Structure 1
Amino acid sequence: MTRVDFHSQVQDKIHYSCRLIRKARTANCQILVLSEDEQQAQALDLALWNFSASDFLPHVMLENPLAAQTPIIITTALPAALPHHDLLINLSQHLPDNFQQFNRVIEVISQQEQDAASGRQRFRLYQQQGVKPSHLVASTS
């Protein structure tokens, strides 16, 4: 069964996601990041290039021909067939389609009320599907 973790009260979703991605890559995970829209996807793309001078976080957009060989993929939609199934980081305000195909899902929820409300709704939707999500209040460091 898919493990689902909620990280709430996140001040900056992009920076926080970069930290999660770096940590997951240290554990040799392959990661798919679901962005809310193209603007957020582009912001994450840029942030991953500039996040750390000492860490290389190889990533591409899902449409890139090298997506299957790249450990970090950014997308705005989840098609049925995906090259990675280790970790899904959800930055969107929607329950990911076919989330069950992933070993783990991390829902990143900001401090904004609209994002928090949609996060609470997704928490309940996961529960209705038999998943017991965990919850972590994000640290600011």
Structure 2
Amino acid sequence: MPRIEFYVLSSATPTDRLRAACQLAMKAWRRGLPVFLRGSDTEQCRALDELLWRFKTESFIPHNLHQDDPQAPVVIGLDDEPSTQQGVLINLNTTISPFVERFSRVIEIVNQQPELLTACRENFRSYRQRGYDPQRVEL
């Protein structure tokens, strides 16, 4: 059963949310874990791809879009089935991934946008109803 964590940001800025996702992806990748960044739409996936290229100028985070290389150490996609198991899912979508059981850890990134807060609260309840014990982490 995966460990579920809700990382809560104090800002409402969408860019801060993407930067937090990149930071967490880099941390997990450096620990040797496969990472799946689940975006909310194609535009956000492209923004994540671009941000990962310039996120840290002194280091490179090997990544690719799912349709280009589903085996990359850091994969960016939507509702694509992950090619590896027991990795980290960083969920930026407003819904729970259909493949949540394929991961050892799921991170939901929440900011202070009202509509996102509402969706994430619903996800938190839904995880509990499914038998998970989601945790809240303040950033």
Cα offsets for 1:73-126 (capped at 9, x unmatched): 0002133xx212311000000011120111110001111011011000000000
TM-score by length of structure 2 reads: 0.91
| Conservation of the 8 A alpha-carbon contact between 2:63 and 2:74 | yes
**How many residues are paired up?**
134
Cα displacement (A) at 1:10: 5.3
Identity %: 29
1:88 aligns with 2:89: yes
Alpha-carbon separation, structure 2, partners of 1:133 and 1:109: 13
User: C-alpha separation between the residues in 1 aligned to 2:137 and 2:123?
Assistant: 15
- CA pair 10-17 structure 1, distance change in 2 beyond 3 A: farther
Q: Which runs of 5+ in 1 are unaligned?
A: none
Within the candidate set 25, 31, 51, 2:29 is matched to: 25
TM-score, normalised on structure 1? 0.90
For the aligned residue pairs, the C-alpha RMSD in angstroms reads: 1.1
Structure 2: gaps (5+ residues): none
Q: State the 1:61 CA deviation.
A: 0.7
3-state SS of 2:9 partner: strand
2:64 is the alignment partner of 1:55: no
1:121 alignment counterpart: 122
SS in 2 for 1:103: strand
Matches within 5 A, 1:43-82: 43-64=47-68, 66-68=69-71, 70-79=72-81, 82=82
- The structural deviation recorded for 1:38 is 0.8
2:41 paired residue among 37, 46, 53: 37
For residues 59 and 134 of structure 2, what CA distance do their matches in structure 1 show? Answer: 30
Match of 1:9 in 2: 9
1:53 is matched by which residue type in structure 2? T
